[in-house]
Structure 1
C-alpha cells in the first residue's frame, strides 16, 4: 500500500480479483453454509487493525499510525471490492458472492458494517487517541483553541502559502457542478450574493500537496497542529469578498478506481494500461463521506449532483480522512513508538571480519540459506545477492521477476549495472500490480534503455511470484544460484513486512527456474517441476493432493497435520479439502492475516481446525505450507495466497524447503503462533474474531514478533561471542 503502513488491506498487496466468486456445487458430504462472507471477513480484518489503535497498551504514535492504516485500508476496500460489487449490479452481472448472496444484499451488509466501523474509528480518534496525544504534548487543535497571536501567525501562513493556490469553484447556471476527484477533501460552501440576494453554492478543494496538519508556532514545549481545512474555512471571506458566508461543510468522495484491461496477443500492454490509468480518475462515485453537521440542503445537492444513493453516504463525527494521521505518527518522539529494531545480517551471510565483504555465493554453495525479514536484513541478503551478481565477472546471466519495488530501488539499479557490464539480464516486470502501475511503467522503460530484456509475462495472467535466477560460470561449468521469496523486491517495505527468502544452489531448483523463466519469456509450456509448485497449472492440484494425503494419514492412524500461513484464505476447493481433512481426524492449523472464509464452528466438519490471526508492528506477509507426511514433514514457502486469482490467474511459485534445520525452524515458528500463550485473534462461532492479549491473571501474552526479534538478537550475540 504505502511505505508507512505495516498492516495492509490484502487488496493492493494481493491486488485484484475479477469477482468470479460464485460458489461451486456443494460437496455432498459438507454443509452448504460452510463459508464466511469474504467481504465481511475483510471488514473484520480491518476491525482487528482498529483494535490495535484502541488498545492503550499500544505505543501512542503507533496507535495514530494504526488509525491511519485503517482509513487507508478502508479506502482501498471501497475503491476495489465495493466498486466491483456495484459494477456487477449496474451491468446486470448478478453473480452471487462466495456465500450465495446477491451483490445488492452484499452491498447492504457491507454498508451496515462499514458505517459502524467508520463511527467507531472516528470515536477512537476523538475520544481516545487525540486526548492521549494531547496529554503527551501533541495537540490537534481547533481555531477556537488559538490565542490572538497564534491566529495572526496562522493568517500570515494562510496568505503566504495557502491562499494563492486555492481554486474556489462556483456552481450556477454559468458554472456546472465541478468534477470531484477521488479521495480529495473538499469544502461545500453556501454563500449569499450581496448584490442579488441569491444563495449560491461553491466547492473548494483542500490542496493535497500541502501538509494536512499545519504546525502552530509555539515555545517548543508542545507540538500543536491545526487542520488545513479549518484554517481555510476561517478565511473564506478572503476567497469570496463581498459575499456573505452562510455555511460550510467538509466532504470527501471515493470513486471506483478498479481497472479492467482486455488483453490479446497484439495489444501494446503499456499503452493500454496508460490509457486505463487516465480513465481511472473518472470512475463512478461509490462513497460520500460528510461531516456530522452537514445540513440537508447541502447534502441533497451533493447526492443529486454526484448521482449517489443515501446508502452510500457516510456521516462521520469529527475529522474526515484520518489517513492524515500518518503525518502525526511520523513525529520524532521515540518514547511513543515501538522500541527500534535494527535488522541483523543472517548468520550465513555475515563476513568473516569487519574489513571484508561477505561472499554470498560461497555461503549459498555451502548450504541453503533461509532468511527471515525484517528480523534479518534484506539489504545484506537479497540486495547483496543481486549486487554481487551484477559486479561478478563470472556471472553470465540474471533473470528476475519484479512485482513491486521502491522508487529509488537498488534492485533495479543492480539489474541495470549488470546489463551495462555485458551480462544477459531478463526482468519480468508486472506492470499491472494495482496502484503501482505507473511506477512500474517508468521502471520498465528505464530497464529497457539500459539493455535489460524486459517482458511482461503471460497474456491474461499476472506474475506474482518472487524469483531470481543467477547463472555463474565456475570451473568451465555453469552453476545456478536461486532465490525464491514470499515478498516483493522492495527495500522499503522489507523493513515493515514479515517475509521469508530461500537462497539455494540446488541444481534441481535452478533447472526448475530456468524452465519457468523460459515459459514466462517465450513460448515454452512446462508440464511439471521437481521442487516447485507453480500456478496456474500445478499449484492447486499439488496442494489438494498434499492435504488429501494428510486426511488419509489421519484415517490410517498416522496423525495427519496441515499447517497453512497465508494472507487470505478464500478458495472453496482448498477450504473444502481442509474440512475433509479435519473430518478425517487430521489437525488443521491456519494462520491468516486478513480475509478468511473458512469456518471453525461446523460440528463434525471443523472440529480439528484452529484459525489464528496475528497483527502488530510488522505486516505478516510470508506464506508457509507444511504437511506432517507421516513424521517426515514437507514444507513449502512462496508467494501464493489461497484465493482464486492466485491459484487460477497468476503465476505463483512455492519452493519446497529441504534443509532439516530450516524445516524445524519454520514448524517451530508456526507452533509458536498457534500457542495459547501467544497474543493473537481467535476465529470462533459465527465468524467472530476474539482478541487474546492477556492471560487469566491480566498478564500480557507473548508477542510473537517481539519473541522473534529477541531470538535473532540472541543468535547474533552468540555468534559475536564465538
Structure 2
C-alpha cells in the first residue's frame, strides 16, 4: 500500500513531543516542587533510553549507508539532524528552569543544593572529612598515556576528566575518574548540626562530583591538577539477539546482556558548558564522536538523578498518590475473618469484575487472586505471563508457594523485555529451581500479553478463572500506572486462554480463537473489520463512532483506515499518551478525528477500544497499542468486554478523559499539542477519579 508522506508525523519527533509534554508538566505552577522534580527526572531518564535505542538505531543505519525513508519521507540522517536540534532545545529549556525557578522553589521550601565554594570553613571541613572516609577509597584515577590506553567509559556513568602536571617531568597527563554515584548516591546530605539549623524540615546537599572536584589534589600527591571537568556518555544499548541461531535462549540473552554492559557505540556525549578545550579535544579524539552528538550542559549532568531527592521526608512537597481502595465487590474479602479459600472464586462465579488501577488496589484484587489460587487446595494449575515484574514480587512468591503446594504452575517469562532482561533472567532461574515450568515464548516474537489462568476443581468438573490486563504483573508500577484488568470465568475466553498458553509453550499451532483477539494472528484483522464496520454504517445512513485509548498510534495501515473513516463521517476520538503519527482535524483528511494526550500524576497506560456498532457497542481492553510491533511482531491478547454494566463503566471512563481540561493536551491540525485553558471548574480526570473512589 502506498502512503502519502505528508499525512504522517515522524515517529521519533512525535516521541520527542511527548517527552516535551512531560517536561512542560514539570514546569506548571500547580504542581508541588518534588512532583516537579519527579517530572524532570522522568524527562531525563526517557531521553537516556531514547538515545540508547532509537537514536542508536538511526545512527547505525546512517553508518551502514542506509538511505531508506521513513513513512513521513525522512532518511535516517535527516531524522537524526532534526532529533538533535529538537532535543537540544528541550535540554536548554530544562536546564534554564532547573537552574532558576526550580532551584528557587527548592530553596523556598528549605531544600538546598549547595556548591562547595558557598560553604563556610566548618562545613568544608565536614565535607572534606566525609570525602576522605567515604569517597576517597572508592576512586580509581586512570591515566592515559602510551602504556595506558583511554579507558572504557561505561554507559550513563558520570566521570571526571582532568589534566595533571607531573612536577618532576613537567609533563601533563590526562586522567579519568569514574564518579561512584551508584554506591554513595548523587547528593550528599550535610547534617543539620553542621549547617547550624534546628529546622528538621530543611535539607542541605552537595553533589558528590562537586566534593570530589574540590578534593582532587588529594588523589594526586605531589602533582598539580591544572583543570578538570565532568562528562557523561550514552551508548547503544539495544540487544542484538539472533534467536533462530540460539540453542538456549536464556544463555543467549545473558551473553547479549554482557555485551550491553561492555557497551556499544557512543551516541551522545554530555559535557559541562565551560569544559576546557584541551580536555574536550582529548575526549572527542578518544571517544570518536561527531560534534553534533555533543551536548554542552549548563546544569548538573544526568538530571535523571534528581529522583534521589524524592526520598526526602517531606510529604507536604509532593502529592499523595497512595490512594487506592479495594474494589467494592471484593471488600468482603478484607473484612471477613472466615479463611474460606473459595471467597474470591465464589464472587467471580456470580459476576465478572472490571478493575481500574491504581484506583482499585492491585494488592487486594490481582495479588489476592493469585495468592488464593496458590493456597486453595481445589486449585490444580496456574498459568501466567510475566513481562516486567517488581524485584520483590508477591506474585512470584505466590507462584513458588503454589508449586510447593503441589500445583501445576506454568510461567512464561519474557526474557527480551527491554532493560528488564537481567531481572527476568534471575526470576526465570528462581522459578525453575522452585519446580515451576518456565517457558520463554515463541521464537521471533516478544510475548507482551498480560494474562493469568487458574484451573480449579469444583463438583467433579474443572472451572477456569482468569485475569486479562493492560498492565504488567508488577506490584510497584501498579500504584502509579493506570491500567484496566478483567477478572472472569467466561467459558469461551477461558477456552481461548488455554489454547493461547498451549501455543506459547509450543504445544499448539492455534490461529483461530472464539472471542480473544490475538496478535500476530487475528488482532489486526479484527481491528480493521471493526473500523470498516463503522464506515459501512455511515454509508448506510447510520451513526459511526470510535473511541480508542492507547499509549501509541504508529501503524500506517490503521492510520490510513482512520483517515478514510473520518472522510466518510465517522466521529473518532483518540486518547493517546505518547507517540501519534496521525494528523487530526485536517480538511478533507481527518476533520472528524480528535487527538488528546493525558499527562498527569499517574502514567496513563490502559488500552481501551470502543466501537459504536449501530448503538450496540463493542468494547475491548488488552495489552496492544496500534503499532506494527504490537500487531505483527508481538504476542498480544485483547479481550472483549461483553457485560453491559462493565461496558458502560468503560464508556464513562473514556468520557472522563475526553472532557478533561486539566491534564489534557489537544493536538491541532499541524501536529502541535496545546494545553486546554483551565478555570475554577476544570475537569481533572485523575483527581476526579480519586474523588469518585473516596465517595
Shorter chain as denominator, the TM-score bin is: over 0.9
Question: Partner of 1:193 in structure 2?
Answer: 166
Task: Specify the alignment match of 1:560 in structure 2.
Answer: 544
The alpha-carbon deviation at position 340 of structure 1 amounts to 4.3
Gaps of 5+ in 2: none
- 1:700, 1:69 → 2: CA distance? 29
Q: Provide the residue aligned with 1:70 in structure 2.
A: 43
Q: What residue number does 1:536 align with?
A: 520
Residues 185 and 251, structure 1, Cα contact 8 Å, conserved in 2: yes
Is the 2:661–2:676 Cα contact (8 Å) retained in structure 1? Answer: no
User: Is 1:25 paired with 2:5?
Assistant: no
Cα distance in 1, alignment partners of residues 256 and 292 from structure 2: 28
Question: Conserved in 1, the CA contact under 8 Å of 2:607 and 2:624?
Answer: yes
Within the candidate set 289, 303, 307, 1:308 is matched to 289
Distance across 1 between alignment mates of 2:46 and 2:5 = 31
Which secondary structure does the structure 1 equivalent of 2:614 belong to? helix
- CA-CA distance at 1:555 after TM superposition: 2.1
The answer as to whether partners of 1:249 and 1:291 remain within 8 angstroms in 2 is: yes
Specify the SS of the correspondent of 2:44. helix
Deviations 1:132-180 (A, max 9, x none): 0001100011012211111000011000000011011111222111111
Any idea what SS the aligned residue of 1:128 has?
helix
1:474 to 458, 472, 482: 458
- The offset of 1:601, in angstroms, is 4.3
Q: 1:170 aligns with which of 143, 151, 161?
A: 143
Would the aligned equivalents of 1:35 and 1:99 in 2 still touch at CA under 8 Å? yes
Out of 10, 13, 36, the position equivalent to 2:9 is: 36
2:156 maps to 183
- Offset at residue 360 of structure 1 (A): 1.1
TM-score calculated relative to the size of structure 2: 0.97
- Shift of residue 685 of structure 1? 3.2
Contact 2:5 2:73 in 1 (8 A): no
Q: Specify the alignment match of 1:355 in structure 2.
A: 337
Q: Could you tell me whether the CA contact under 8 Å between 1:265 and 1:459 is conserved in 2?
A: no
Structure 1 residue 363: Cα displacement: 1.1
Quick one: distance in 1 between partners of 2:152 and 2:509? Answer: 48
Following the alignment from structure 1 to structure 2, what is the Cα–Cα distance between the partners of residues 609 and 356? Answer: 52
User: Measured at CA, do residues 136 and 473 of structure 1 come closer, stay the same or move farther in structure 2, by a change above 3 Å?
Assistant: same
In the alignment, what sits opposite 1:258?
238
Q: Give, in angstroms, the shift of residue 50 of structure 1.
A: 0.4
**In terms of mean alpha carbon deviation, does 118-127 or 519-528 score higher?**
519-528
Pair 366,147 (structure 1): closer, same or farther in 2 beyond 3 Å: same
Alpha-carbon offset, residue 357 of structure 1: 5.5
Task: State which drifts further: 492-501 or 340-349.
Answer: 340-349
In the TM superposition, residue 96 of structure 1 has moved relative to its aligned partner by 1.9
Q: Give the equivalent residue in structure 2 for 1:483.
A: 467
2: distance between equivalents of 1:484 and 1:69? Answer: 28
Partner in structure 1 of residue 274 of structure 2: 293
**8 A Cα contact 1:461 1:649, kept in partner:** yes
2:445 is the alignment partner of 1:461: yes
Give the C-alpha shift of residue 622 in structure 1: 0.5
Q: Which residue of 2 aligns with 1:242?
A: 222
What aligned pairs does 1:570-585 form with structure 2 within 5 A after superposition?
A: 570-585=554-569
Q: CA RMSD in A?
A: 1.3
TM-score (norm 1): 0.93
- Deviation per CA, 1:487-546: give whole Å up to 9, x if none: 000101111110011001111111010111111112312232122110001101110110
**Aligned pair partner of 1:81 in 32, 54, 62:** 54
After the TM superposition, which parts of structure 1 deviate over 6 Å for at least 4 consecutive aligned residues?
none
1:390 to 364, 367, 374: 374
Residue 45 of structure 1 is matched in structure 2 by 18
Residue deviations 1:169-193 (CA, integer Å, cap 9, x gap): 1112221111111100011111222
Matched, 1:212 2:200: no
Q: The residue matched to 1:108 in structure 2 has which SS?
A: helix
Q: Pick closer, same or farther for the CA change 1:341–1:307 going to 2, 3 Å.
A: same
Check conservation: 1:634, 1:657, Cα contact below 8 A. Answer: yes
More RCO (CA 8 Å, sep 6+): 1
Q: Matches of 2:475 and 2:277 in 1, distance apart?
A: 49
CA gap 1:623/1:676 in 2 versus in 1, 3 angstroms: closer
1:431 to 1:676, Cα distance in 2 relative to 1, 3 A: closer
Q: How does 1:351-430 map to 2 (within 5 A)?
A: 351=332, 353-356=335-338, 359-430=343-414
> What is the alpha-carbon distance in structure 2 between the residues aligned to residue 436 and residue 339 of structure 1?
28
Distance 2:273 2:245 in 1: 51
Moved more, 247-256 or 166-175: 166-175
1:95 CA displacement: 2.9
Corresponding residue number in structure 2 for 1:157:
130
Match of 1:504 among 488, 494, 510: 488
SS at match of 1:355: coil
- Provide the secondary structure at the position in 2 that maps to 1:94: coil
Structure 1 gap ranges (5+): 1-23, 715-722
Q: Secondary structure of the residue that 1:380 maps to in structure 2?
A: coil
Q: CA deviation at 1:602?
A: 2.5
- State how far apart, in whole Å, the 1-side matches of 2:71 and 2:252 are: 31
